[in-house]
């Protein structure tokens, strides 16, 4: 089938559907929902069998839904209606929630249902539920809906109209507001989680209006609403029955991008330090396996994060274990350099350079590890440098639903580093390496496995995945030929080093990066600016809009 995705952005759910439906043999194209006439034009060019809207902020034009089956993914159970579905479910403390694929009609979220799935809720941020439970349910529901299309067209199956709930409006900030004098910790956490990563909860810190994100319970207490101190880069604020740590804020004045709270508010330096770090890096052992988790917000790794992770990695290396598992975070393995903190730096070019050097130092330490076998375990998605960080490990294992974006070009034609010029061809061959770097599109775990970008993929939830990783890693550690494997790895590394030193790869990559950061072509700085400020799209890039490719024609049989 030809399936046109119409979406506000190529977000994680849209990418996942793009990958899954392509793998099922469908012909996919995407058009950003920019305005009605652009959507109508895209439909006329592509003449899809089906239109699927995974993430919309506006209604589909009538001229489109009257002529084509248009299915909308709604993050709520059948009958639920309105734009803040998941936010409201979190605030209400629902124990179970759902995803519905429904047909677009004049009235919002009122069309007949093609497929619906349910899932158990978790006490987690909206963005985390969206990237995990909602995405998995949406993929299942979209598959079911698409399988029903032939029967629908032949008149053998009709979607049913659910019992409709009232249409609830966009959740206003007034309804999200925290009442610091009365709200307990659970309520504050619920409110911030229901608004994370977008739009955040409007509040005030140091007398300045701002949005709050990334909250955790913190063991402290004080006068309700009082700022008690700093914990890593977060701020600790008292509730009526305890305290929360607020990790990220967006000020409304100045740069107005999401930053670690203490960076958004330098005044915080005067507060006492209640905890030395953010708790993003955790290390534990199971038998001969050391597990190093690094759960940085949004998978973004700033200079200091890379340095802290390198120190933790060195400590893990010093342990009498055999295998080190790099477990990334629950939602993201890594998304590479922290573009927000780079944007906020006095010199974004200098900070980009420092950040990539710190990232390369980390990759270097992993590649050069002679004492352990290393495994990168991707529970969540990885993009740009974060995807190549995984390749520094000896083995790369990914959860089934993981989406990889192993390329840098989308960020203003960045050349990239992380020793990718060494790591990628070594894994997939020179031709495939070039193809991967050029193609700009997301890749599913199955395709990554087929290409050799990852070595294995397992199914299940993040927790089930880590359990399986531990089993497999235990097998590696206990293998009778462990010593021989380690020796082979070291011999191979020594031979590679003799053929071309790692320092050479790094110098060449960083030569290109220096041009990206300091050269006359500002593409990277422009792309980063648009990325961190979330500038709305004004056109759909050609690599996504297949129907806009020169020479694209609707096949004769259509
Ligand atoms: N630095 C800072 N923030 C980042 C980031 C990075 N490297 N990568 C992702 N984020 C943020 C996004 O801004 C977004 O923020 P929000 O919480 O305010 O919405 C959040 O993480 C989720 O990102 P999103 O783009 O919605 O995730 P996705 O899964 O849909 O897409 C990528 C994943 C990797 C394609 C996309 O995030 C991306 O292109 N990131 C930039 C990667 C990069 O170029 N890194 C620098 C070079 S190494």
Q: What is the pLDDT of residues 110-135, one digit of tens each?
A: 999 999 999 999 999 999 999 999 99
Which one of 383, 441, 523 would you pick to mutate in the ligand 1 pocket, going by the greatest count of ligand atoms within 8 A of its CB? 383
Which one of 126, 306, 335 would you pick to mutate in the ligand 1 pocket, going by the greatest count of ligand atoms within 8 A of its CB? 335
Same domain, 65 and 154: yes
Same domain, 96 and 244: no
Give the residue-averaged pLDDT of 421-438.
95
pTM of the model: 0.96
Provide the CATH number for the domain around residue 83: 3.40.50.170
**How far is C-alpha 473 from the chain's CA centre?**
25
Look at residue 554 and tell me if it is in a domain. Answer: no
User: Is the CB–ligand 1 distance for residue 443 below 6 Å?
Assistant: no
Same domain, 118 and 194: no
Same domain, 357 and 503: yes
Q: How confident is the model at residue 254 (pLDDT cuts 50, 70, 90)?
A: confident
Look at residue 198 and tell me if it is in a domain. Answer: yes
Same domain, 128 and 106: yes
What percentage of the chain exceeds 90 in pLDDT?
A: 94
Look at residue 352 and tell me if it is in a domain. Answer: yes
Look at residue 506 and tell me if it is in a domain. Answer: yes
Residue 459's pLDDT is 83
Distance 422 CA to ligand 1 centre (A): 25
Per the DSSP assignment, residues forming a β-bridge with 202 are 211
The three-point CA angle 380-385-386 to 5° equals 20
DSSP 266: G
Distance 324 CA to ligand 1 centre (A): 26
Look at residue 443 and tell me if it is in a domain. Answer: yes
Same domain, 344 and 361: yes
User: Is the CB–ligand 1 distance for residue 300 below 6 Å?
Assistant: yes
Residue nearest to atom 41 of ligand 1 (CA): 335
Provide the CATH number for the domain around residue 386: 3.90.226.10
CB 149 within 8 A of CB 159: no
Distance 402 CA to ligand 1 centre (A): 15
Provide the CATH number for the domain around residue 251: 3.10.25.10
CB 152 within 8 A of CB 98: no
The boundaries of the domain holding residue 189 are 179-275
Look at residue 552 and tell me if it is in a domain. Answer: no
Pairing of strands 2-7, 403-405: unpaired
Number of domains in the chain: 3
Q: How confident is the model at residue 520 (pLDDT cuts 50, 70, 90)?
A: very high
Same domain, 388 and 488: yes
Give the end of a domain, one of 109, 144, 166.
166
Residue 542's pLDDT is 86
List, for residues 285-318, the tens digit of each pLDDT value: 999 999 999 999 999 999 999 999 999 999 999 9
Is residue 288 classed as helix, strand or coil in its secondary structure?
coil
Residue nearest to atom 11 of ligand 1 (CA): 298
Same domain, 331 and 451: yes
Same domain, 358 and 493: yes
Q: Kindly give, in sequence order, each residue whose CB lies less than 8 Å from that of residue 46, ignoring residues fewer than 6 positions away.
A: 2, 4, 29, 546, 547, 554
Look at residue 213 and tell me if it is in a domain. Answer: yes
Same domain, 108 and 155: yes
Residue 549's pLDDT is 80
Q: 355 is written with which tokens?
A: 């950040």
Residue 28's pLDDT is 96
Same domain, 383 and 445: yes
Q: How confident is the model at residue 460 (pLDDT cuts 50, 70, 90)?
A: confident
Residue nearest to atom 18 of ligand 1 (CA): 197
Look at residue 174 and tell me if it is in a domain. Answer: no
pLDDT at 557 over 60: no
d(CA 15, CA 64): 23
| DSSP line for 404-471 | EE--STTTTT----TTHHHHHHHHH-HHHHHHHHHH---EEHHHHHHHTSSSEEE-S-HHHHHHHHHH
């Amino acid at each position: 089938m030809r399936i046109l995705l119409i979406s506000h952005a190529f977000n994680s759910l849209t990418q996942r559907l793009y990958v899954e439906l392509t793998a099922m043999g469908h012909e996919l194209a995407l058009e950003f929902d920019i305005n009605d006439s652009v959507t109508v034009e895209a439909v006329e060019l592509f003449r899809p069998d089906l239109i699927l809207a995974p993430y919309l902020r506006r209604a589909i034009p009538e001229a489109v839904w009257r002529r084509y089956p248009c299915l909308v993914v709604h993050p709520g159970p059948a009958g639920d209606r309105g734009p803040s579905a998941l936010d409201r479910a979190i605030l209400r403390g629902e124990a179970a929630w759902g995803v519905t694929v429904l047909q677009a009609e004049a009235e919002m979220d009122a069309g007949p249902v093609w497929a619906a799935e349910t899932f158990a809720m978790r006490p987690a941020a909206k963005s985390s539920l969206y990237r995990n439970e909602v995405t998995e349910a949406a993929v299942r529901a979209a598959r079911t809906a698409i399988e029903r299309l032939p029967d629908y067209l032949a008149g053998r199956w009709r979607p049913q109209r659910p019992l409709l709930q009232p249409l609830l409006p966009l959740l206003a900030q007034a309804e999200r507001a925290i009442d610091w004098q009365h709200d307990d910790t659970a309520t504050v956490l619920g409110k911030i989680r229901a608004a994370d990563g977008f739009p955040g909860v409007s509040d005030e810190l140091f007398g300045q209006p701002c949005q709050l994100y990334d909250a955790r319970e913190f063991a402290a207490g004080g006068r309700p609403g009082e700022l008690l101190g700093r914990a890593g880069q977060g701020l600790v604020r008292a509730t009526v029955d305890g305290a929360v740590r607020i990790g990220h804020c967006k000020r409304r004045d100045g740069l107005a991008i999401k930053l670690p709270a203490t960076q958004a508010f330098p005044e915080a330096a005067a507060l006492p330090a209640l905890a030395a770090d953010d708790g993003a890096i955790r290390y534990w052992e199971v038998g001969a396996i050391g597990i190093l988790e690094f759960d940085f917000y949004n998978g973004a790794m700033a200079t200091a994060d890379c340095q802290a992770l390198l120190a933790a990695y060195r400590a893990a290396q010093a342990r009498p274990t055999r295998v080190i598992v790099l477990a990334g975070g629950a939602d993201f393995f890594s998304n590479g350099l922290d573009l927000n903190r780079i944007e906020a730096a006095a010199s974004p070019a200098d900070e980009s350079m420092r950040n990539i050097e710190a990232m390369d130092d980390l990759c270097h330490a992993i590649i050069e590890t002679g004492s352990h076998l290393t495994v990168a375990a991707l529970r969540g998605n990885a993009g740009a440098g974060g995807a190549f960080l995984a390749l520094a490990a000896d083995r790369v294992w990914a959860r089934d639903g993981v989406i990889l974006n192993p390329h840098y070009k989308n960020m203003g034609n960045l050349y990239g580093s992380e020793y990718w010029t060494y790591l990628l061809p070594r894994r997939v061959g020179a031709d495939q390496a070039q193809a991967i770097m050029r193609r700009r599109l997301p890749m599913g775990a199955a395709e990554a496995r087929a290409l050799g970008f990852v070595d294995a993929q397992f199914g299940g939830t993040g927790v089930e995945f880590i359990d399986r990783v531990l089993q497999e890693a235990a097998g590696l550690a206990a293998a009778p030929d462990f010593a021989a494997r380690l020796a082979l790895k070291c011999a191979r590394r020594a031979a590679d080093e003799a053929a071309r030193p790692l320092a050479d790869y790094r110098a060449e990559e960083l030569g290109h990066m220096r041009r990206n950061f300091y050269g006359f072509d500002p593409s990277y700085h422009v792309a980063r600016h648009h990325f961190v400020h979330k500038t709305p799209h004004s056109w759909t890039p050609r690599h996504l809009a297949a129907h806009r490719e020169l020479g694209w024609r609707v096949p004769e049989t259509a």
